[in-house]
């Protein structure tokens, strides 16, 4: 009996519990300090270095086998991060993601087996029109995850708000989220339509999806 208990025992994580509760009740969760200030600073520098080295490409719509570049829909540039070829900093990033995934799988039986993440940079004047993060030929994305890497002091006039379109008892409401550094937003990929408002200053992030099968 004791042995059985040990096997199923696990340490409750209050931050993760809040994320789960938020997603169950509101379809999204906003977490202020998922990554430390130092991690955000280093990830931002890593993004900027890679962008400087011309590693980014224009983001497409559709998935990787079926992609179309459509600047009137989205104008960001991205760089996919290969988990098998990470630098130590990105390895730390994935360690935190994997901890969360493990917890979600244990407590919510979400069956997350795959994930994909990319750096994203929205140049001035770009945006991402209202959309869902799933594709006609692929419904494996369950949770969308966005982590903002902007500098401290991001101003409302910089634009670039993430707007989540929520359904409150049949009435559509807008949840406006400013891309302040260190913030993480997690939401239901198949349920919540959302958009990125036009940006008036370079907007930096890592975006990813937790996927089934």
Ligand X SMILES: O=C(O)CCC(=O)C(=O)O
Nearest residue to Fe ion, scored by beta-carbon proximity: 133
Q: How far is the CB of 159 from ligand X (least distance, A)?
A: 12
Q: Which two tokens stand for residue 92?
A: 């730390």
Rounded distance between C-alpha atoms, residue 98 and residue 105, angstroms:
10
Rounded distance between C-alpha atoms, residue 150 and residue 55, angstroms:
19
Give, as one character, the DSSP assignment of residue 95: H
The contact mask relative to ligand X for 129-168 (x = CB under 6 A, - = no) is: ----x------------x---------------x------
Q: How far is the CB of 111 from Fe ion (least distance, A)?
A: 22
Rounded distance between C-alpha atoms, residue 203 and residue 52, angstroms:
15
CB 157 within 8 A of CB 203: no
Partner from Fe ion, ligand X, none binding residue 196, C-beta < 5-8 Å depending on class: ligand X
Q: How far is the CB of 138 from ligand X (least distance, A)?
A: 14
Residue selected from 196, 199, 204, 210 as contacting ligand X according to rule CB under 6 A: 196
Long-range Cβ contacts of 131-139 (<8 Å, 24+ apart): 131/61, 131/73, 131/193, 131/194, 131/195, 132/189, 132/190, 132/192, 132/193, 133/189, 133/190, 133/194, 133/209, 134/189, 134/190, 135/62, 135/63, 135/66, 137/63, 137/66, 138/63, 139/190
Q: How far is the CB of 103 from ligand X (least distance, A)?
A: 23
126 binds ligand X (CB under 6 A): no
Residue selected from 128, 145, 154, 187 as contacting ligand X according to rule CB under 6 A: 128
Residue selected from 140, 175, 194, 211 as contacting ligand X according to rule CB under 6 A: 194
Q: How far is the CB of 194 from ligand X (least distance, A)?
A: 6
CB 119 within 8 A of CB 78: yes
> Which one, 42 or 205, has the nearer CB to Fe ion?
205
Residue selected from 76, 133, 161, 188 as contacting Fe ion according to rule CB under 5 A: 133
Rounded distance between C-alpha atoms, residue 99 and residue 145, angstroms:
14
The footprint of Fe ion on this chain (CB under 5 A) covers a number of residues equal to 1
CB 105 within 8 A of CB 112: yes
Q: How far is the CB of 193 from Fe ion (least distance, A)?
A: 9
Residue ranges in contact with Fe ion by CB under 5 A: 133
Q: For binding to ligand X (CB under 6 A), which residues are involved?
A: 128, 133, 146, 162, 194, 196, 205, 207
């Amino acid at each position: 009996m004791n042995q059985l208990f040990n096997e199923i025992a696990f340490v409750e994580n209050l931050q993760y519990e809040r994320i789960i509760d938020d997603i169950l009740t509101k379809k999204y969760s906003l977490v202020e300090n998922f990554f430390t200030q130092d991690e955000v600073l280093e990830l931002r520098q890593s993004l900027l270095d890679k962008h400087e080295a011309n590693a980014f490409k224009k983001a497409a719509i559709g998935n990787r086998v079926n992609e179309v570049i459509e600047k009137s829909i989205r104008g960001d540039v991205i760089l996919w991060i290969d988990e098998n070829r990470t630098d130590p900093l990105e390895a730390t990033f994935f360690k935190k993601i994997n901890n969360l995934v493990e917890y979600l799988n244990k407590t919510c039986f979400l069956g997350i087996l795959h994930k994909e993440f990319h750096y994203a940079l929205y140049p001035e004047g770009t945006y991402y029109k209202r959309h869902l993060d799933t594709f006609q030929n692929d419904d494996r994305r369950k949770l969308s995850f966005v982590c903002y890497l902007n500098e401290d002091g991001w101003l409302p006039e910089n634009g670039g708000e993430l707007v989540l379109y929520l359904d409150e008892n049949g009435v559509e409401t807008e949840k406006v989220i400013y891309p302040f550094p260190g913030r993480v937003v997690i939401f239901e990929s198949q349920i919540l339509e959302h958009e990125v408002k036009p940006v008036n200053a370079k907007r930096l992030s890592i975006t990813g999806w937790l996927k089934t099968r």
